[in-house]
Amino acid sequence: MNKSILPKTPSEDLGQWSTIITPHRGWLEVRWRELWQYRDLIYLFVRRDFVGTYKQTVLGPIWFFLQPIFTTIVFTVVFGKIAKISTDALPPPLFYLSGIVMWQYFADCLNKTSSTFTANAGIFGKVYFPRLVVPISTVITSLITFAIQFALFLSLLIFFKIQGAPVHPNYRIIILPFLLLMMASLGLGVGCLVSSLTTRYRDLAVAVGFGVQLWMYASAVVYPLSEIPAEWRWLLVLNPMVPIIESFRFAFLGSGVVEIWQIAMGAGVCLLVLLSGILTFNHVEKTFSDTV
Amino acid sequence: MSSVIRVENVSKRYRLGMINRQMLYKDLQSRWARWRGQTDPNSLLTEQSNQASTNGEIWALKDIDFEIAEGEVVGIIGRNGSGKSTLLKILSQITAPTSGRVLLKGRVASLLEVGTGFHPELSGRDNIYLNGSILGMRRQEISHKFDEIVAFSEVAQFIDTPVKRYSSGMYMRLAFAVAAHLDPEILLVDEVLAVGDAEFQEKCLGKMNEVARGGKTVIFVSHNMGAVSALTSTCLHLQKGHLEDRGPTSQVVERYLNAAAAQHSSGKSTDLSFYRRGSIAESPAYLSRILVNGSQPGNAAVDLHGSLTIHLEINVLQALRSAFICFTIKDQKAEPITTIFSWDQNFLLTLQPGIHLIEMKVDHIPFSPGYYYCDVGISRAVNAASADVIQNFPLFHVVNTGQVTHWTERPWGKVYCHGVQWSVLHNTACPS
């Protein structure tokens, strides 16, 4: 390779050039400012996906309700009635739905962002914009689905409360935005890692769906953390989804064994995953169009 | 004038294997085999390495070095696979160079396609905003230019209709209207003008001319020598990833075409794929051979006022119905001289799959001595995408068979009139 690629006049001031295109970008060289300049595009992508989803299928919005309702019924029968797994004395439908609604948002973020490069190869091959715009807008769009399913959960919660079920929503519900932020970071981070790897290895995309499913069973969706022997909880808590779902139940239903340090650790893991995801994504985005 | 684009020793390497090995298990399989000292079960067995490819590598660009000054309008020409598109992709940051560096000054807008990111379900209005911001405009900026864009696109009354209901012409006009109002300091354009009808193309060229005259720097990549000549003042000629030639457009285009003819007549290349516009991967039919007066073109000599017989061998893959042939003869500067359109003769092709030979006869060719090139296209309908287009194919040279006796190197005019008579009419005034 040609190594004499030094500037023609070494002392020259490069500041007069607004863009410098080089073969590689440093691992830490994320162009945050440029991303900020494209914030309108994030908004427009969110709008596009939202309008697109609603216009294309009549079933679109209904599907958002059907999916959690049916999953809740199946879980109630299989894990509640047949396997008889404890629900921390909560009404089983409410217990499962709370886990499903939270899990679904994370799974949505992960699934959609992990196909960023392959799904957008057409646009990415024709025009440049910071590629991170796409996964970020995906995570925001998924919030709309979450809002719909969360409304479903709230109505069920109110229904059970009126019936006199032992549920105790409390002031801790203010933690919800923080939990969402944690899930978005985790989903975005893992999704970015996966999509960066799928530019090289296509078969990883198949593994994602399977992996997400396995992950769910390690995430306290179908069982409460209290079912796990206390000396092993620290291991499970390494998975940030466990404290997230537990905190959600603790805040909205008033039952759970989550502790502050677990949430803090979860947040730390999320941040770490997010950073490594963004850095990897940033590293491959320059040459991805050669491989996809 | 200061330069706004500086390309320093840029090279781009593609690894062939990178495209083929995309499965994690295959990668592991290869590593396992190598670890045990066996041959890689996934290595490519390439018998013919036709390009400069060693070890499955292709240098799409090699040590490209040039500068472009502010306000310059530059064309980039070259055959398929010469690296034009790769260079444009590097300049527009779609892919990174393997080595070297590019310095740019000012906002860059690249138009490698019109209508990138258009969503069929969204209205024209929403798509203007979406497409505009994909191309790098701020929302506020689009609002500011919105009326202008709509007026230019001529689809004002349908602006709130989803674009899936637009005709292809309306769609193209809207898409180009957004791109035309980008207002960047540097504009990079790939063959977007190759699509759409003549009126639309004219509008695009006009707008680009306006941009160029407004002091903007424009890089225009095209196969269309006519458009390159009309729009650009200087030109780069890429060949097999090297910068072959650079200079005023008219000179570069002429040298480029002459080199093609020379290469042709020496029998090095009769391969039509060198002259093909785009890919024929999904075409229902393509041209496989062109013969002039029964011999290979390029070295074919046609007498002044002689007759011309062209044979076109067409390989039909999917049955064609009512297709037509468009045959344009061009001069050395790639200016079109005449276009023969088979529909004028009510000649429409309805062909079954297989290889067919089409004959076209022209009684006499009224061209002055010199070299001539052609563009040949097979299309299925007006305004539809062409099945195959061959461009700037060296066709024949007209030889002087004694009619031109004086001042044989006359520099002007491409048509040589037939049956010219002179006489002096005595004592007669002009009829008034």
Find the CATH number of the domain harbouring B83: 3.40.50.300
> By the 8 A CB rule, do B280 and B388 touch?
yes
B84: closest CA of chain A, how far (Å): 14
The one-letter code for the residue type at A201 is Y
Closest CA to B280 of B323, B336, B324, B318: B318
With respect to residue B415, please indicate whether it lies within any of the assigned structural domains.
no
Span B18-31, average pLDDT: 60
Closest CA to A225 of A241, A210, A202: A241
Residue A58 above 80 pLDDT? Answer: no
pLDDT of residue A9: 47
The CA-atom distances, in angstroms, between A73 and each of A62, A85, A154, B185, B234 are 17, 15, 17, 60, 71
Phi, psi (degrees; rounded to nearest 5) at B355: -100, 130
Segment B364-385, tens digit of pLDDT: 888 888 888 888 999 876 666 7
Span A85-103, average pLDDT: 90
Residues of A with Cβ-Cβ distance to B141 under 8 angstroms? none
Range of the domain at B278: 272-399
With respect to residue B38, please indicate whether it lies within any of the assigned structural domains.
no
CATH of the domain at B326: 2.70.50.60
Tell if the CB–CB gap between A22 and B96 is shorter than 8 Å: yes
Residue A2 above 50 pLDDT? Answer: no
DSSP SS3 for B158: helix
Segment A128-139, tens digit of pLDDT: 888 899 999 999
Tell if the CB–CB gap between A18 and B107 is shorter than 8 Å: yes
pLDDT of residue B25: 65
> By the 8 A CB rule, do A165 and A92 touch?
no
Q: What is the pTM of this model?
A: 0.73
Whole-number Å distance between alpha carbons of B263 and B279: 23
| B23 vs A: CB within 8 A | yes
Whole-number Å distance between alpha carbons of A4 and A185: 42
Dihedral Cα B114, B120, B122, B128, nearest 10 deg: 10
Residues B168 and B297 in one domain: no
pLDDT of residue B21: 46
With respect to residue B151, please indicate whether it lies within any of the assigned structural domains.
yes
Whole-number Å distance between alpha carbons of B73 and B67: 12
User: Which among A194-208, B210-224, B345-359, B373-387 has the top mean pLDDT?
Assistant: B345-359
Which tokens go with B264? 């042709």
**Which residue of B93, B99, B136 is in closest CB contact with A23?**
B99
Residue of A126, A141, A195, A289 to mutate when probing chain B, most B C-beta within 10 A: A126
Whole-number Å distance between alpha carbons of A48 and B340: 46
How many C-alpha atoms does B73 have within 13 Å on its Cβ side?
18
A165: closest CA of chain B, how far (Å): 45
Between residues B81 and B151, the one the model is more confident about: B151
Span B41-64, average pLDDT: 60
pLDDT of residue B297: 67
Span A10-16, average pLDDT: 63
Whole-number Å distance between alpha carbons of A130 and B201: 31
With respect to residue B40, please indicate whether it lies within any of the assigned structural domains.
no
Tell if the CB–CB gap between B129 and A20 is shorter than 8 Å: no
Average pLDDT, chain A: 85
> By the 8 A CB rule, do A134 and A289 touch?
no
Span B314-343, average pLDDT: 87
Q: Please report which confidence band the pLDDT of residue B398 belongs to, taking 50, 70 and 90 as the band edges.
A: confident
Residues B97 and B237 in one domain: yes
Residues B87 and B201 in one domain: yes
Which tokens go with A253? 């239903």
Segment A97-113, tens digit of pLDDT: 999 999 999 999 999 89
Span B240-254, average pLDDT: 88
pLDDT of residue A7: 45
With respect to residue B428, please indicate whether it lies within any of the assigned structural domains.
no
Q: Please report which confidence band the pLDDT of residue A272 belongs to, taking 50, 70 and 90 as the band edges.
A: very high
Residues 40-99 of B with CB under 8 A from A: 63, 89-99
With respect to residue B48, please indicate whether it lies within any of the assigned structural domains.
no
**Which residue of B22, B89, B129 is in closest CB contact with A200?**
B22
Average pLDDT, chain B: 81
Residue of chain B with shortest Cα separation from A18: B105
Tell if the CB–CB gap between B96 and A14 is shorter than 8 Å: no
Residues of A with Cβ-Cβ distance to B138 under 8 angstroms? 37, 40
| C-alpha distance across the termini of chain A, in Å | 24
Closest CA to B365 of B324, B343, B396: B396
Bridge pairing between strands B354-362 and B308-316: antiparallel
Whole-number Å distance between alpha carbons of B4 and A2: 24
Residue of chain B with shortest Cα separation from A19: B104
With respect to residue B88, please indicate whether it lies within any of the assigned structural domains.
yes
Residues of B with Cβ-Cβ distance to A52 under 8 angstroms? 119, 121-122
The residue among B229, B256, B283 that closes a domain is B256
Lowest mean pLDDT among A113-127, B235-249, B265-279: B265-279
Span A154-166, average pLDDT: 90
Residues B298 and B225 in one domain: no
Residues whose CB falls within 8 Å of the CB of residue B377, separated by 6 or more in sequence, listed in order: B325, B326, B327, B386, B388, B389, B390
Segment B88-128, tens digit of pLDDT: 989 988 888 888 899 998 888 888 877 788 888 888 999 99
With respect to residue B420, please indicate whether it lies within any of the assigned structural domains.
no
pLDDT of residue B388: 87
Residues of B with Cβ-Cβ distance to A15 under 8 angstroms? none
- What's the structural domain count of chain B? 2
pLDDT of residue A41: 92
pLDDT of residue B228: 83
CA quadruple A166, A169, A172, A177: dihedral positive or negative? Answer: positive
Q: Please report which confidence band the pLDDT of residue B19 belongs to, taking 50, 70 and 90 as the band edges.
A: very low
Q: Please report which confidence band the pLDDT of residue B143 belongs to, taking 50, 70 and 90 as the band edges.
A: very high
Span B252-273, average pLDDT: 70
Residues B228 and B285 in one domain: no
DSSP SS3 for B1: coil
DSSP SS3 for B406: coil
| C-alpha distance across the termini of chain B, in Å | 58
Span A246-259, average pLDDT: 88
| B133 vs A: CB within 8 A | yes
Residues B143 and B216 in one domain: yes
Residues B73 and B214 in one domain: yes
Residue of A21, A53, A120, A200 to mutate when probing chain B, most B C-beta within 10 A: A21
Segment B325-338, tens digit of pLDDT: 999 998 877 788 89
Residue of B5, B65, B91, B93 to mutate when probing chain A, most A C-beta within 10 A: B93
Q: Look at phi and psi of residue A84 and say left if phi exceeds 0, alpha if psi is from -120 to 50, else beta.
A: left
Angle at A171 between CA A165 and CA A174, to 5 degrees: 115
Residues B113 and B210 in one domain: yes
pLDDT of residue B415: 86
Residues B230 and B115 in one domain: yes
Q: Please report which confidence band the pLDDT of residue A191 belongs to, taking 50, 70 and 90 as the band edges.
A: very high
The residue among B224, B256, B288 that closes a domain is B256
Residues B315 and B203 in one domain: no
* Number of CB pairs, chain A paired with chain B, less than 8 A apart: 137
pLDDT of residue B43: 54
Residues B323 and B193 in one domain: no
Tell if the CB–CB gap between B139 and A44 is shorter than 8 Å: yes
Tell if the CB–CB gap between A51 and B121 is shorter than 8 Å: yes
Segment B274-304, tens digit of pLDDT: 788 777 777 888 888 888 887 776 667 788 8
Residues B73 and B216 in one domain: yes
| β-bridge partners, B341 | B326
Span B146-157, average pLDDT: 89
